[in-house]
């Protein structure tokens, strides 16, 4: 009887049995499709004990396990931090935290990035907690999301709890914080390096602090750790009279390449970057300026990575992952409402450019900080498995038709805080090597 037990990232000794990561199955069986338990995920909760199965899919007692070498896991080869793209088999991930989530003060940069129908919400609640009822539901959803990730064999880490309502003052400005819900916004892993983005919102200036316990551990384990230059976030970084009043204004300003951030100093959010091995893509957005892009270009060039600036027909560019989400080698979800001006580059390289269907989320569900296109903000567990919003049945069908297995999870209330699965996570380790796809 072939019995297998996998241990978390290189630990030895008496450990909690960990479900066999798909990547090891692939390595052992040579196939992604050699599915283990066919469990109906739809309404199930994974909070209970995890199963370990033998090759006949029957449960085996723990005494029967033989220990498998961890050599095939990238931790053993590359250390704790290692990811070159958005789809290699996921081994470890940071999932954001709901705790302490605070509505950002309604400043000019927040106004430029949010929709007019929510401005009253920001005026009223800026500096105080997001509505408690929503946070409670969001928290339950995210806990369940973490359980599902663990069940799928992914190691899950969480940021520290912080009091984001605390007001801070620097020589240049005063603000309170926002949250540690979206690790994707602030952290970017490229190879063995973890980069802390400088950010562009004053309410996010100190957000990195929630991740420092984790980052110090990764550093001790051998990871490279970089913080991009901290911006001053002085008044000069923002166009104080950014003339946004309506959707028409948005379109006109975006078409003219006019953004709320100036070129006073470099700024960027990590979520404006999308990785595909030797090629990384970025957009000039409301939070990522050209100086920020140039800083990253020079930085990544040293690692042999080419940074390409893309642009989209988007009235409100902020974070590329609900606009242009690369889901596999030569495969990208391209938002049909926001055509990419450089799409020929991808087509010429033989990429599949896939237009996802319209989101199904209802108009009266509050999305305070994003559009509905969070439906395409999916997280790949490997090239053949995707975490997708359970209620988004159209995009689920699309994935199934592409031969990608959907793992449906519901985070509708967590969406209200401004992100989908890709935003709510930051992949720390994916098993794969640096390759060229373009």
3-state SS string for 373-420: HHHHCCEEEECCEEEEECCCHHHHHHHHHCCCEEEEECCHHHHCCCCC
Residue 307's contacts (CB-CB under 8 Å, 6 or more residues apart) are: 280, 281, 282, 293, 296, 297, 300, 301
The verdict on 376 binding ligand ARG (CB under 6 A) reads no
| Total residues belonging to the chain | 438
Determine contact, residues 94/426, Cβ cutoff 8 Å.
Answer: yes
* Binder among 159, 418, 425, 428 for ligand ARG (CB under 6 A): 418
- Gap between the Cα atoms of 110 and 98, Å rounded: 20
423 is catalytic: yes
**Cα 60 to chain centroid, rounded:** 35
| Cβ distance to ligand ARG smaller for residue 137 or 319 | 319
| Cβ distance to ligand ARG smaller for residue 238 or 424 | 424
Determine contact, residues 141/412, Cβ cutoff 8 Å.
Answer: yes
The verdict on 271 binding ligand ARG (CB under 6 A) reads yes
239 is catalytic: no
The verdict on 184 binding ligand ARG (CB under 6 A) reads yes
Task: Give me the least distance between CB of 70 and ligand ARG, in Å please.
Answer: 31
Q: What does residue 312 show for φ and ψ, rounded to 5 degrees?
A: -135, 155
- Strands 324-328 and 306-310 come out as unpaired
Q: Which stretch binds ligand ARG (CB under 6 A): 182-190, 209-217, 297-305, 385-393?
A: 182-190
The verdict on 182 binding ligand ARG (CB under 6 A) reads yes
Q: Which stretch binds ligand ARG (CB under 6 A): 10-18, 152-160, 177-185, 404-412?
A: 177-185
Give residue 35's region: left, alpha or beta (phi > 0; psi -120 to 50). beta
314 is catalytic: no
The verdict on 93 binding ligand ARG (CB under 6 A) reads no
Task: Give me the least distance between CB of 34 and ligand ARG, in Å please.
Answer: 33
Q: Which stretch binds ligand ARG (CB under 6 A): 65-73, 117-125, 274-282, 316-324?
A: 316-324
The verdict on 203 binding ligand ARG (CB under 6 A) reads no
Task: Give me the least distance between CB of 367 and ligand ARG, in Å please.
Answer: 8
Task: Give me the least distance between CB of 186 and ligand ARG, in Å please.
Answer: 10
- Gap between the Cα atoms of 332 and 335, Å rounded: 10
The verdict on 322 binding ligand ARG (CB under 6 A) reads yes
| Cβ distance to ligand ARG smaller for residue 100 or 419 | 419
Residue 75's contacts (CB-CB under 8 Å, 6 or more residues apart) are: 9, 10, 82, 91, 92, 429
The verdict on 389 binding ligand ARG (CB under 6 A) reads no
* Binder among 233, 305, 423, 428 for ligand ARG (CB under 6 A): 423
Active-site residue, selected from the candidate residues 70, 88, 269, 272: 269
Task: Give me the least distance between CB of 184 and ligand ARG, in Å please.
Answer: 4
Q: What does residue 283 show for φ and ψ, rounded to 5 degrees?
A: -125, 145
Task: Give me the least distance between CB of 206 and ligand ARG, in Å please.
Answer: 18
- Gap between the Cα atoms of 375 and 397, Å rounded: 13
| Cβ distance to ligand ARG smaller for residue 21 or 419 | 419
Residue 330-369 contact track with ligand ARG, rule CB under 6 A, x = bound: ----------------------------------------
Within residues 94-153, the interface with ligand ARG by CB under 6 A covers: none
The sign of the torsion formed by the CA atoms of 41, 393, 274, 369 equals: negative
The verdict on 183 binding ligand ARG (CB under 6 A) reads no
Task: Give me the least distance between CB of 11 and ligand ARG, in Å please.
Answer: 31
**Cα 430 to chain centroid, rounded:** 13
DSSP string, 123-187: HHHTTSBSPHHHHHHHHHHHHHHHHHHHHTT-EEE-PPP--TT-EEE-SS-EEE---BS-HHHHE
Q: Which stretch binds ligand ARG (CB under 6 A): 141-149, 169-177, 252-260, 417-425?
A: 417-425
# binding residues, ligand ARG (CB under 6 A): 15
Structure tokens at 250: 């948005």
- Gap between the Cα atoms of 143 and 155, Å rounded: 14
The sign of the torsion formed by the CA atoms of 356, 362, 364, 365 equals: negative
* Binder among 153, 266, 419, 432 for ligand ARG (CB under 6 A): 419
| Cβ distance to ligand ARG smaller for residue 341 or 347 | 341
The verdict on 318 binding ligand ARG (CB under 6 A) reads yes
**Cα 388 to chain centroid, rounded:** 13
- Gap between the Cα atoms of 395 and 357, Å rounded: 6
Active-site residue, selected from the candidate residues 151, 319, 413, 422: 319
**Contact residues for ligand ARG (CB under 6 A)?**
182, 184-185, 271, 318-319, 321-322, 370-371, 373, 377, 418-419, 423
Residues with active-site annotation? 269, 319, 423
């Amino acid at each position: 009887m072939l019995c297998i037990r996998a241990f978390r990232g290189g630990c030895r000794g008496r450990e909690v049995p960990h479900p066999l990561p798909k990547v090891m199955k692939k390595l052992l069986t040579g196939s992604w499709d050699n599915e283990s338990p066919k469990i109906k995920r739809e309404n199930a909760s994974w909070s209970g004990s995890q199963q370990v199965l033998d090759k006949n899919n029957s449960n085996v007692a723990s005494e029967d396990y033989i220990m498998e070498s961890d050599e095939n896991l990238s931790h053993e080869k590359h250390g704790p931090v290692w990811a070159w793209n958005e789809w290699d088999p996921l081994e470890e991930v940071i999932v954001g935290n709901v705790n302490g989530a605070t509505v950002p003060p309604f400043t000019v940069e927040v106004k430029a990035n949010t929709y007019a129908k929510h401005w009253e919400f920001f005026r009223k609640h800026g500096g105080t907690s997001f509505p408690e009822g929503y946070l409670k539901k969001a928290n339950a959803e995210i806990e369940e999301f973490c359980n599902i990730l663990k069940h799928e064999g992914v190691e899950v880490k969480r940021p520290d709890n912080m009091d984001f309502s605390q007001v801070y003052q620097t020589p240049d400005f005063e603000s309170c914080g926002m949250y540690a819900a979206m690790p994707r916004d602030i952290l970017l892993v490229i190879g063995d390096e973890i980069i802390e983005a400088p950010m562009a919102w004053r309410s996010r200036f100190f957000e990195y602090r929630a991740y420092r316990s984790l980052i110090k551990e990764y550093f001790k384990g051998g990871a490279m750790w970089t913080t991009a230059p901290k911006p001053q976030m002085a008044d000069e970084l923002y166009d104080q009279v950014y003339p946004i009043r309506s959707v028409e204004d948005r379109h006109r300003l975006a078409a003219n390449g006019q953004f709320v951030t100036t070129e006073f100093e470099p700024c960027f959010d990590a979520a404006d970057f999308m990785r595909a091995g030797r090629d990384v893509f970025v957009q000039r957005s409301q939070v990522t300026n050209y100086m920020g892009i140039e800083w990253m270009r020079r930085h990544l060039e040293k690692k042999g990575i080419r940074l390409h600036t893309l642009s989209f027909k988007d009235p409100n560019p902020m974070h590329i992952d609900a606009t242009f989400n690369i889901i596999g080698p030569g495969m990208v979800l391209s938002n049909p409402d926001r055509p990419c001006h450089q799409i020929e580059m991808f087509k010429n390289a033989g990429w599949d450019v896939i237009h996802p269907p319209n989101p199904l989320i209802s108009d009266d569900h509050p999305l305070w900080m994003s559009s509905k296109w969070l439906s395409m903000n999916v997280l790949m567990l490997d090239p053949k498995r995707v975490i997708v919003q359970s209620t988004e049945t159209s995009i689920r069908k699309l994935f199934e038709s592409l031969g990608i297995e959907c793992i449906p999870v519901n985070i509708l209330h967590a969406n209200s805080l401004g992100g989908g699965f890709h935003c709510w996570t930051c992949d720390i380790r994916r098993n794969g090597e640096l390759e060229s796809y373009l």
